[in-house]
C-alpha cells in the first residue's frame, strides 16, 4: 500500500493542475451580485451624487449656522445629512489626488 501511494505523484500533479484550471475558470465568471453592486457604486460616484452631496453640505451647513436653537432630533438629522454628504463628497476629493493620467 505504501508503494502505491509513493508512485501516484503523477495523479497528484494532474489533480493539482485540474484544480488550478477550475480556479482560473471560476475567476473569469462574474458573480451574480456584482452587477447590482456595480450599479450602486456608479450611482454613488457619478456626477449626480456629487451635485447632491454638494447641495447637502451647503444646506446642512447653512441650517447649522443660521438655524438658531434646534432641538435634538432636528439637529441629529441635519448632522446625519452633513456626514453622509461629506462621505460621498470624500470620494471625489480622493479621486482628484489619486487619479493618474488625463480624465476624459
Q: Characterise 102 by phi-psi region: left (phi > 0), alpha (psi -120 to 50), beta (else).
A: beta
Q: Is residue 104 part of a domain?
A: no
Task: Please tell me the total count of domains within the chain.
Answer: 1
Q: Is residue 76 a part of any domain in this protein?
A: yes
Kindly report the pTM of this predicted structure.
0.52
The range of the structural domain enclosing residue 10 comes to 2-98
Helix axis angle for 47-66 and 72-98, nearest 10°, is 140
Q: Would 103 be classed as within a structural domain?
A: no
42: enclosing H helix or E strand = helix 34-45
3-state per-residue secondary structure call for 60-78: HHHHHHHCCCCCHHHHHHH
32-80 pLDDT, tens per residue? 888 888 888 888 777 888 888 888 888 888 888 887 787 888 888 888 8
81 domain-assigned:
yes
Amino acid at each position: 500500500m505504501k508503494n502505491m501511494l509513493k508512485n501516484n505523484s503523477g495523479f497528484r500533479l494532474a489533480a493539482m493542475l485540474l484544480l488550478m484550471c477550475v480556479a482560473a475558470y471560476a475567476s473569469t465568471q462574474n458573480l451574480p451580485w456584482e452587477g447590482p453592486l456595480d450599479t450602486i457604486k456608479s450611482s454613488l460616484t457619478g456626477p449626480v451624487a456629487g451635485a447632491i452631496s454638494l447641495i447637502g453640505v451647503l444646506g446642512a451647513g447653512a441650517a447649522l449656522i443660521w438655524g438658531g436653537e434646534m432641538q435634538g432630533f432636528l439637529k441629529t438629522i441635519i448632522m446625519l445629512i452633513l456626514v453622509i454628504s461629506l462621505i460621498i463628497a470624500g470620494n471625489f476629493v480622493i479621486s482628484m489626488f489619486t487619479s493618474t493620467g488625463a480624465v476624459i
